[in-house]
Amino acid sequence: MITANKYFGTDGIRGRAGHYPMVPEFFVKLGWAIGTVLAPHGSSRVIIGKDTRITGYMFESSLQAGLAAAGVDSYLLGPMSTPGVAYLTRNMGFDAGIVISASHNSYQDNGVKIFSRSGTKIPDEIEHHIEQMLAQPLVVVSPEKVGRVYRVEEAIKRYVDYCKHVFPSNLSLSGLKIVVDCANGANYYMGPRVFADLGAHILTIANNPNGLNINDECGSTHPAKLQEAVVKEEADLGIAFDGDGDRVIMVDKTGEVVDGDELIFIIVQAALRNGQKIDGVAGTLMTNLGLEQALQALDVPMERSKVGDRYVLETLQKKGWQIGGESSGHIIHLGYASTGDGIIAALLVLAAMVQSGESLHSLKQGMHKCPQRLINVKVATSVDPMSVPAIQEAVSHVQEQLQDRGRVLLRASGTEPLIRVMVEGNDPAEVSKLAADLAEIVEKSLS
């Protein structure tokens, strides 16, 4: 039986930079542990990418040192999205891929995500093995076996060309005016480049990273400026990535947000219209009930996993399905990528628009979202909220009120010190009140 990890959460290792374990000495040891576990046979190669946060330089150097101590060569990409690293890892035959990123978090945080040679996030048992090595003394290989460091040339061009290849060659984005919010993150160059090369007229916001402005009131978690820009510029739509580019949400021409659940529906509906067979879709506990109902109407089953794109991927692999994702915009299509990829998901939606001749606003109408309220409650330390009697009682009370008209979900975030309180139902006023009342009890109980 695998015991609980000390460092790895639901999406790698993440925390406040400068506070243990987000310190250089830990990253040296982590690099050594990764090299020892994932590339144990000598002459091994690991590719490293990072988002645009300033502390990435510090952690990149530390990981290099640890990998070199394990006898592993490091190949540096510089700023590169998480899905870009996953693609290049498998496409270029590396033994492992490492992304230095804290995804949608602010610049004060950083973290590490690790990919296997197949471009998928490493499973729990490999994470546990790395944690076991972290508890061991660091032993440096003999000098003649110490790893070297190289730069990967034309990595951006290779990944951009692949993304463009996903879009049907007989289609064009010509005539579409698109506002792209790059979150001042890893897609600040690649995202706009892909869409422009395919013919779209592109306007960009939040595409001037300075190391400190990643996800700062921009990107997929803060779409207000994108909504404003789409309406002001009279654009056809807007596209927003998060800091490391594995999430995407869109904004339609009216300024309404189109979230991950709605984007999945559009992608599935387009695939069915093109005669493709969709055996099923993987969602999560947070997936809107409206998506499940819309898929049922299309005779497509849906299965819910734990929250986290790695668990969505596990469900897809177990079921032999291809499409899944989260409301937040992590969307996986295994026909094109081995992990969530914001650019590729956006291209699939854009292809659906061009092929159908319909607007994004029109395409999303086939799915009717159930009112859902999510409140993040800050806590000092992450705990299981359902282990607290007062919270258990409050949840039972909400469930009694909702009966079969909705659902309630409480969970501790795997990446931040938050308790996520979600209530879903038919009546938006009732949903908001129940969620607010429950969040208040959670805050009082865990303060």
Q: Which residues are catalytic?
A: 103
Burial class of 153 by CB neighbour count within 10 A (0 to 12, 13 to 18, 19+): exposed
Sorted by sequence, the CB contacts under 8 Å of residue 232 that are 6+ apart come out as: none
pTM of the model: 0.90
How sure is the predictor about 103, in pLDDT bands with cuts at 50, 70 and 90? very high
> Could you read off the pLDDT of 334-374 as tens digits, one per residue?
999 999 999 999 999 999 999 999 999 999 999 999 998 99
Element (H, E) at 332: strand 331-333
Element (H, E) at 34: helix 24-38
* Average pLDDT of the chain to the nearest whole number: 94
Task: State both tokens at 264.
Answer: 């999945």
Do 259 and 329 form a contact (C-beta atoms < 8 A)?
yes
Task: State both tokens at 89.
Answer: 């890892």
- What is the predicted pLDDT for the residue at 412? 87
Share of the chain above pLDDT 70, in %: 98
Report all structural domains of the chain as residue ranges with CATH numbers, in order of start.
13-153 (3.40.120.10), 158-366 (3.40.120.10), 372-446 (3.30.310.50)
Q: Which residues pair with 48 in a beta bridge?
A: 76, 98
> Could you read off the pLDDT of 88-97 as tens digits, one per residue?
999 999 999 9
- What is the predicted pLDDT for the residue at 300? 98
pLDDT at 385 over 80: yes
- What is the predicted pLDDT for the residue at 1? 41
Which long-range CB contacts under 8 A does 15-19 form with residues at least 24 apart?
15/109, 15/110, 15/111, 16/108, 16/109, 17/53, 17/55, 17/58, 17/108, 17/109, 17/110, 18/55
Strand order in the sheet with 72-79: 13-16, 109-116, 96-100, 44-50, 72-79, 149-151
Task: State both tokens at 103.
Answer: 């995804």
> Concatenated DSSP letters for 217-228?
S-STT--HHHHH
Element (H, E) at 45: strand 44-50
- What is the predicted pLDDT for the residue at 42? 57
> Could you read off the pLDDT of 2-51 as tens digits, one per residue?
456 889 987 899 999 999 999 999 999 999 999 999 876 556 899 999 99
Q: What is the mean pLDDT of residues 381-408?
A: 88
> Could you read off the pLDDT of 397-432 as tens digits, one per residue?
999 998 877 889 998 887 778 999 999 988 999 999
User: Which amino acid, residue 157?
Assistant: K
Q: Which residue has the tokens 């081995």?
A: 338
| Lowest model confidence (mean pLDDT) among 125-139, 327-341, 383-397 | 383-397
- What is the predicted pLDDT for the residue at 162? 98
- What is the predicted pLDDT for the residue at 317? 95
Do 28 and 72 form a contact (C-beta atoms < 8 A)?
no
